Structure 1
Amino acid sequence: MNFVECRVFEVQCLHVPVCDRTPFEGLVKVVEETLRLEHASRPNSPIYLVGDSFGGCLALAVAARNPTIDLVVILVNPATSFGRSQLQPLFPILKAFPDELHVTIPYILSLVMGEPLKMATVGVEGRLPPTQKIEQLSDNLTALLPRLSCLADIIPKETLVWKLKLLKSASAYANSRLHAVKAEVLVLASDKDNMLPSREEAHRLKNLLPNCEIRFFKDNGHTLLLEDSLNLLTVIKGTSKYRRSRRHDYISDFLPPSMSEYRYAFGEVTGLLRFASCSAMFSTLEDGKIVQGLAGVPNEGPVLFVGYHMLMGLDLPCLIEAFLREKNIMVRGIAHPELFWGKFRSAGNEFAFPDWVKVMGALPVTANYLFRALSTKAHVLLYPGGQREALHYKGEQYKLFWPNQPEFVRMAARFGATIVPFGTVGEDDIAELVLDYHDLMKIPGVSDFINKARQDAIKIRDETKGEVANQELFIPGMLPKLPGRFYYLFGKPIKLKGREDLLENREDANELYLQVKSEVEQCISYLLKKREEDPYRSIIDRTIYRALYSPLDQVPSFEP
């Protein structure tokens, strides 16, 4: 893989010297002057204000005084909750603390400021053997202790007292002006913040600010940005806050994943699924020969992958990862709008899978985004059966539920795209569907929840258009099985360059549509039959092979 780390932001940082005694309003004016200079030089570009703790008060104050400037304000455990801090009773004691004992203050504060173990894990590679991980963690923890002892010299007692007064005035100033904040706001809050009630404060700010989103980090402390598992740019991308103009656009504002995002997304987030399924990829060459790997898939776009959507979309992570690893191609998946604009997007308000879907390039399932993605010569992933296939009922695995509308064929023809039909199998080897929609609707309470979700859900299809329009949002009941394997077969590419006739001739477009559907079904049938010949279909056999010979993505399969 060849990931290119790109420069996204020009970063400027406010530094307040230890001996500086500028009052809060003076600091606001310093930041404001810089802000207005930047805005004058680039009036059509948004400016990002990132405020951590005390900086959160500063960012909100500046935003309140400049409502006409396009700002994206990111607050990290903001100190606007200072008045409700659990440390309030300790502040009078700190003022009266003897000078000779001040050296202990940094150690006391370190116990409540952050999670030392999370800080120590920064830079530790997640895929290292356990012994090497422990060794690096030990070294990092040991290195932290001398730094703490230096804090007493860096922050003398009188400076600490001044900072506390400054924090109190900053919180009061920012809270009194929240009504004037018109900027786009993202609040990042740690569940283990022992200095401030950050989780409650995030909810409060969301209720008070008109354009505010929140994300929680359950394993982090007050010093969120210094701890492991958080890359601020990743959070900005995953919450759709990165934009180059007034409005975020999923095409023009997309930033390809970095190597660190690739490793985290396909290691920490979906690593267990990838390990359990150990996907085997096959593709079809121009002469019709089926080969292992993705050699038969065109490298140049526009390409439209059209296939079967496995239960709960289990097929997606392995497919996206395989294309990045083997061909360095970012496949843009067309996803349900609930992941972008619906209530499901922020369920629990944690930075979780729906956010990672956007980091990895997903697009809302609209004709406009499909049109624009193909116009940029992208590799686009489309599931015509959509939610109806991904949330199918018992006995419906590997059955296609496609609408009687060949629109994607005409769209592909418009841009001379190549259609690649594909099939996937393996869901029945990973889990057993025990409670489908009909079963859940018989359970009191659960049926009410599903009905409420249906009423609030974003509709993407007219309900008069057949079985595929029967799309109910629900989480099916599944029991895990001793994992088998996922198999993918990409059929022979169908080139539509020079087929502009399909734009007008609906009969020919429909015929090609049925051909694509038939080839997807043939791919599924082929895989269901051939997987019986795979000597490594069982996770036990694969684990033994991997231990002896090769990594996860190189375990052989059946001979095509």
Structure 2
Amino acid sequence: MIDGLVDRPARVRSLEKAIFTIADAIAPVVDMSRVYVDGLSALPRDGRFLLVGNHTMSGWAEVVLIPYFVHRELGRRVRGLATRQLADAGGLTRDLLEAAGAVVGDPETGAELMRHGETVLVFPGGGRDMLKFKGEQYQLLWEGRSGFARLAIAHDYPIIPVGLIGGDDVYHSVVERNGTWERMTRGLGTRLHGVNNVGIPLIRGVGPSLVPRPQRMYLRFGSPIDTTRPARVTAAEWEAAVKERTQTSLESILGQLQITRSTDPFRHLNPLAWARAARATP
């Protein structure tokens, strides 16, 4: 797996070329959806940075939009550290995921990518961050995880916090964590979604259906966080400080975007409000 991270098989390179050719071609279509995006100008031009984002209940918006806009800005493929379930995938599915940039998210993989100066994306909450229950929209369920900070520090990689609002409103969860339903479904949940000790959220979209609620997406790339350890600060102390700073910055971004969205007449993709949609500062 490590050997194939940079020197990819010919079939994966062919799929990669096709994926990014399509990505470039659909730019006008993406623009029509008026994704709110800012902060791209602060990205290091060499592409050598670690993106740290929030997962949402939609499960797709942040995974697609963050790499898409980084590629559009810098022309670089983002390498997303995915769950270990990627290792169980096979055939065309795995080839497509790897062509798009996904790799198994373990420390060795991340270290190898950074040694080659790749742009890396991680969601510290993992699958748990997607499994939101009632009242948990846009909360970071990281459970103290700081491995991303340790990895960035070891390779002198700046961290770019990147937040997305909109994905937790495509569906609404109707049950609470630690409620009767959630506790009863923990065993089944572990088998279905692979996250231990988490039940199955009951969700709804438009009305009582599973039709996704139309939502505009709001994306912000934060200022780079320097991970160079100061003198006389222990490794453990600095790892905790970088993790805390990243989480605080990301939570601030999510709060700011929610304020922006609250006054946006286009938040539900109402075509009549298209011309009055909130716009990011250039």
Under TM normalisation by the shorter chain, which class is it?
0.7 to 0.9
**Cα shift readout 1:422-470 (whole Å, capped 9, x = no counterpart):** 2111024423334788647758xxx87545447xx5xxxxxxxxxxx74
Please point out which of 260, 265, 274 is paired with 2:18: 260
Partner of 1:557: 278
State the shift of 1:276 in Å: 9.4
**Structure 2 CA distance for partners of 1:414 and 1:395, relative to 1, 3 Å:** same
Partner of 2:148: 408
CA distance in 1, matches of 2:14, 2:201: 30
Letter in structure 2 aligned against 1:250: L
Partner of 1:226: none
Partner of 1:490: 221
Partner of 2:79: 332
State the shift of 1:301 in Å: 3.6
- Find the structure with the greater CA-based Rg: 1
**Cα shift readout 1:326-367 (whole Å, capped 9, x = no counterpart):** 3212111111111222xxx36xx8x55x65322201011101
CA distance in 1, matches of 2:35, 2:141: 24
Letter in structure 2 aligned against 1:525: G
Identity of aligned residues (%): 22
Does the CA-based 8 Å contact 2:182-2:199 persist in structure 1?
no
Q: How does 1:518-537 map to 2 (within 5 A)?
A: 518-537=248-267
State the shift of 1:396 in Å: 1.1
Q: How does 1:24-103 map to 2 (within 5 A)?
A: none
Partner of 2:208: none
CA distance in 2, matches of 1:402, 1:385: 4
Letter in structure 2 aligned against 1:324: H
CA distance in 2, matches of 1:493, 1:542: 37
Please point out which of 410, 413, 432 is paired with 2:172: 432
Q: Do residues 323 (structure 1) and 70 (structure 2) align?
A: yes
Q: Do residues 308 (structure 1) and 54 (structure 2) align?
A: yes
Q: Do residues 385 (structure 1) and 115 (structure 2) align?
A: no
**Structure 2 CA distance for partners of 1:476 and 1:542, relative to 1, 3 Å:** farther
State the shift of 1:282 in Å: 1.2
State the shift of 1:513 in Å: 1.3
Letter in structure 1 aligned against 2:42: G
Please point out which of 240, 244, 257 is paired with 1:514: 244
State the shift of 1:298 in Å: 1.1
CA distance in 1, matches of 2:170, 2:35: 12
Does the CA-based 8 Å contact 2:165-2:217 persist in structure 1?
yes
State the shift of 1:482 in Å: 4.2
Letter in structure 1 aligned against 2:115: S
CA distance in 2, matches of 1:397, 1:544: 26
CA distance in 2, matches of 1:476, 1:266: 37
Partner of 1:376: 116
CA distance in 2, matches of 1:500, 1:516: 17
CA distance in 1, matches of 2:273, 2:87: 37
Secondary structure, aligned partner of 2:42:
coil
State the shift of 1:556 in Å: 5.9
Does the CA-based 8 Å contact 1:280-1:557 persist in structure 2?
yes
Letter in structure 1 aligned against 2:216: R
Unaligned runs of 5+ in 2: 206-210
**Structure 2 CA distance for partners of 1:502 and 1:488, relative to 1, 3 Å:** farther
TM-score, length of structure 2 as denominator length: 0.78
Secondary structure, aligned partner of 2:41:
coil
CA distance in 2, matches of 1:489, 1:385: 18
**Structure 2 CA distance for partners of 1:256 and 1:330, relative to 1, 3 Å:** farther
**Structure 2 CA distance for partners of 1:493 and 1:448, relative to 1, 3 Å:** closer
Please point out which of 134, 148, 155 is paired with 1:394: 134
Partner of 1:417: 157
CA distance in 2, matches of 1:407, 1:503: 18
Partner of 1:297: 43
Please point out which of 242, 249, 266 is paired with 2:4: 249
Secondary structure, aligned partner of 1:334:
strand
**Cα shift readout 1:127-154 (whole Å, capped 9, x = no counterpart):** xxxxxxxxxxxxxxxxxxxxxxxxxxxx
CA distance in 2, matches of 1:276, 1:394: 32
CA distance in 2, matches of 1:484, 1:435: 22
The answer to which structure has the higher helix fraction is 1
Does the CA-based 8 Å contact 1:320-1:330 persist in structure 2?
yes
Does the CA-based 8 Å contact 1:534-1:557 persist in structure 2?
yes
Secondary structure, aligned partner of 2:270:
helix
Higher mean displacement: 359-368 or 472-481: 472-481
**Structure 2 CA distance for partners of 1:416 and 1:450, relative to 1, 3 Å:** closer
Does the CA-based 8 Å contact 1:453-1:473 persist in structure 2?
no
CA distance in 2, matches of 1:539, 1:299: 32
**Structure 2 CA distance for partners of 1:475 and 1:337, relative to 1, 3 Å:** farther
CA distance in 1, matches of 2:44, 2:14: 20
Secondary structure, aligned partner of 1:494:
coil
State the shift of 1:248 in Å: 6.1
**Cα shift readout 1:30-49 (whole Å, capped 9, x = no counterpart):** xxxxxxxxxxxxxxxxxxxx
Aligned residues: 269
Secondary structure, aligned partner of 1:538:
coil
**Structure 2 CA distance for partners of 1:501 and 1:415, relative to 1, 3 Å:** farther
**Structure 2 CA distance for partners of 1:439 and 1:256, relative to 1, 3 Å:** farther
Secondary structure, aligned partner of 2:79:
strand
Secondary structure, aligned partner of 1:313:
coil
- Structure number with the bigger relative contact order (C-alpha 8 A, sep ≥ 6) is 2
